[in-house]
Chain A
Amino acid sequence: MSTELVTMNIGPIHPSTHGVFRMRVTFDGETIIDAEPIIGYLHRGSEKLAEERTYTQVVTLTDRMDYTASMTNNQAYILSVEKLSGITPSVRGVWLRMIAAELQRIAAHSVAIGFLINDLGAWHTPLLYLLREREKILELFEMMCGARITNSYLRPGGVFMDAPDEFWPSLNKFLDDMPNRLDDIENLLTDNEIILARTQNVAILKKEDAINASITGPMLRASGVDWDLRHRNPYDFYEKISFRRPLGTVGDNNDRYLVRLQEIRESLKIVEQCLDLIEPGPVKPEEVPFLVRPPQGESYVPIEAPKGELGFYLVSDGSISPFRCHVRAPSLINLTLLRDMVIGYKIADLFVTFGSIDVNMGEVDR
């Protein structure tokens, strides 16, 4: 019986792609032969815009790149600026930065896991449970800096505002409640037969392929590589904190889901340790000028963002704006292997795999 290949466009507007993402897929019946991603629908020219703004104004640009993880975007940029200009941040500012970054990691992973299970077809129930926890984190952020999502909380040298008094009891309450909620969600999802049947042994990614394709973050750790920048290349005060790094064994969709879930637990422990070690003091050193003017040079400080290794390559020519600001976007680079991972699997696996890579279009297109 003669069959023909069907080429279809899974368009930029689609309920299952996280943002505006387009794929041109070729099927043979039910099996995928080719999947070509086409991106650029959210390109706003952030790198060019950064060349016309002062170093502090660029912080607002970095918020909007990976809009589910603003704090870590800010952190990557500010660390690069501080290395370039030789500013030593204040101690309390650094602890507040770390608390904000780890809370942001919990929120970003909640979104990732929630939407992955949503793509599997569980009509929003686990998604809403996880978004309810994220709501609490966003309220904490609102207490800290006044904004929920695009925070612009960090400044060269620390943060711009100290957390108010009502922040600390709320944070403690959140840390007490969250492990129980995570247990509930895990009981519902992790051993569920249908989720296991849909995600195990689908889209397997091997170690060597992952490293060769510059994959970083939870996707790399799910393939079994123990590379976490907070552990290997500690920035801020991460060497004073101890935490475990969950690794996967097979490298399929199920491992990527499990790794993110366990990373939420580890982030809770990191926040608790930060709470024990934080000291009162100024949140930003006073000698940091309003207009930062770094000397000529360049810097690249990679950090462990929720999506992978995020780093800002800054080149300075001595003026108040960066000469060149390049973002090493983890979501874009993690997309390299999407095509290889889905070839040979069924249509229904395409969206589950795409969800497990955890891509944010704001970061892919910048």
Chain B
Amino acid sequence: MGPIRESFIFEFLYCHLSLEASCSSVRILNVAFIPEDLSWISFILTSFFWIFVFINAALVGVLVLIWGERRLIGKFQARLGPNRWGPLGLFTPVADAIKVMFKEDIEPTLSDKLIYVLAPILMVVPVFMIFPVIPYGAKTFLTNISVGVVFVLAITSINSLSVLMAGWASGNRFAIIGGIRAVAMLLSYEIPMGISAAGVVIVAGSLSLSEVVNNQVIPNAIFQPLGFITFLIASTAELNRSPFDITEAESELVAGYMTDYSSMKFGLFYLGEFMATIASSAIIVTFYFSGWRGPTFIPSEIWFLTKWVGVIAIFIWFRATFPRLRIDQIMSLAWKGLFELSLINLLVLALMIAIWPDPSGMQLLIMTLVNWVVFFLSIYIFGKILSPNLTGNKIKKRSVVYGLD
């Protein structure tokens, strides 16, 4: 049973079900009824309960995010967001969900029905698996696996398979083109993500997510800014959000991979994207903002929640502000920009940790300064090199001239 017993939420419910002797200090009410040698039953019951809660919490979180994104983008655009259904428009996502469910489910004549149906399911289900692994508080988590970082990175790469399946099974030549283009982008951006995550692992000294949080004396966003920026940009691309939303806005130009999906299948794609946003934000908080850590006068869960909402707000801010990049510019940015930057970050960190394996106080400060100098230098140099290559020609700020009288 191991480390899961350290989780307060698990322990609380387990002890109220099982008559185990070691639990007596935790019990408040005296309702335990499962004897000690059948403790596996109480384990299963507790697990299923918390899994049920987590899945529902994730779905409710998506509903709140749909509402929150529309209101926040409304504030950026100097207008109210949705405010008709329910107080402050809180029932808008419910209305959305009902609309999506009741649309006509159009079935095109397909090459492959199984893959067609599986693709949206594959987009949604793996994302649920990220939520149990993340530590939400000092003693609040559902599992504590020892390879959390690798697990999380693996899960976030499954959506490229789903996109390819959706594009292929539609049997429509533009969907295939759109799907392949989307997969090219998704695969290119996983590499900077992985290398930046390696930078986090070097500092933490372990692949487990709780170790990553526990060993962050200075939040990694300040300690390794280069890694943070590359991970943030790569995450935005993995989520198909602005400025990398060619797959969604593809419908403006060429039919994207989602065209032949209607009603609930499309709803699942939509749901999957928002849930992946929430999951990615939780991952970024864990990796780079030291998770639940913070001054103890506020409970650690509240800290995590605040940082979580902050990172989601950053994603929404990107969406409201930036126009879209073209696909060749996106690939350029990944391979000629982020890849090199994340490698530089890894190199510098590895050198520093090799010299001072257990940094403290003054050494941490020096390492932070070195990291920031490297950050500014490399962005400046790569900006100069990359800028003409981004469009194939030199771009510079320009202004108009005026006609002479």
Contact = CB atoms under 8 A, between A and B. Distances in A.
A247 B78 contact: no
B399 interface: yes
Contacts of B329: 197-198
Interface residues of A, number: 50
A200 B319 contact: no
Interface in A145-196: 188, 190-196
A192 B400 contact: no
B98 interface: no
A188 B393 CA distance: 23
Given A15-B252, A123-B319, A197 B391 contact: yes
Interface stretch (B284-292, B300-308, B320-328, B334-342): B320-328
A347 B253 contact: yes
Given A8-B254, A121-B245, A351-B253, A246 B321 contact: no
A122 B323 contact: yes
A120 B323 contact: yes
B402 interface: yes
A132 B402 CA distance: 28
Given A125-B77, A197-B395, A347-B254, A247 B401 contact: yes
A366 to B, nearest CB: 27
Interface string B390-405: 1101011111111110
B79 interface: yes
Given A121-B243, A122-B323, A191 B397 contact: yes
Interface in B349-405: 390-391, 393, 395-404
A201 interface: yes
A348 interface: yes
A117 interface: yes
Contact of B243 (A16, A117, A194): A194
A8 B174 CA distance: 10
A30 interface: yes
Given A121-B242, A125-B77, A194-B243, A200 B395 contact: yes
A191 B245 CA distance: 21
Contacts of B403: 221, 226, 228, 231, 244-247
Contacts of B325: 194, 197-198
Interface string B224-255: 00000000000000000011011001001110
Nearest to A132: B78
Given A255-B398, A346-B328, A117 B254 contact: no
B173 interface: yes
Nearest to A16: B252
A246 B246 CA distance: 34
In this complex, the member of A117, A188, A193, A250 whose beta carbon has the largest number of chain B beta carbons within 10 angstroms is A193
A192 B245 CA distance: 18
Nearest to B244: A121
A200 B391 CA distance: 9
A250 B400 CA distance: 10
A30 B250 CA distance: 13
A125 B328 contact: no
Nearest to B245: A121
In this complex, the member of A191, A197, A226, A246 whose beta carbon has the largest number of chain B beta carbons within 10 angstroms is A197
Contact of A129 (B78, B243, B326, B400): B78
B79 to A, nearest CB: 6
B253 A200 contact: no
Interface string A213-252: 0000000010000101001000000000000111111100
Contacts of A123: 73, 242, 319-320
A249 B398 contact: yes
B40 interface: no
Contacts of B398: 200, 249-250, 254-255, 258
A6 B78 contact: no
Contact of B253 (A16, A129, A245): A16
A347 B173 CA distance: 16
A54 interface: no
A258 B400 contact: yes
A124 interface: yes
Interface in A238-288: 244-250, 254-255, 258-259, 262
A123 B79 CA distance: 14
Contact of B78 (A128, A244, A246, A254): A128
Nearest to A122: B323
B327 A198 contact: no
B85 interface: no
A116 to B, nearest CB: 10
A76 interface: no
Interface string B114-129: 0000000000000000
Interface string A19-43: 0000000000010000000000000
A359 interface: no
A155 to B, nearest CB: 33
A350 interface: yes
A197 B327 CA distance: 12
Interface in A89-127: 117, 120-125
A268 to B, nearest CB: 16
A124 B242 CA distance: 12
A325 B316 CA distance: 52
Nearest to A127: B77
Nearest to B401: A247
B326 to A, nearest CB: 5
A245 B400 CA distance: 9
Contact of B393 (A6, A121, A132, A200): A200
Contacts of B319: 123
A247 B400 contact: yes
B248 to A, nearest CB: 10
A122 B324 CA distance: 7
A149 B77 CA distance: 23
B320 A258 contact: no
B327 A195 contact: no
Contacts of A192: 322-323
Nearest to A261: B400
B320 to A, nearest CB: 5
A138 to B, nearest CB: 16
A346 B254 CA distance: 12
Nearest to A348: B326
Contact of A6 (B173, B249, B402): B173
B76 interface: yes
A198 to B, nearest CB: 6
12 contacts: A6-B173, A30-B328, A122-B321, A123-B319, A125-B76, A125-B321, A197-B325, A198-B324, A198-B329, A200-B393, A248-B400, A348-B246
Given A194-B323, A348-B253, A348-B324, 4 more contacts: A195-B323, A254-B398, A351-B252, A351-B253
Interface of B: 73, 76-79, 173-174, 242-243, 245-246, 249, 252-254, 319-329, 390-391, 393, 395-404
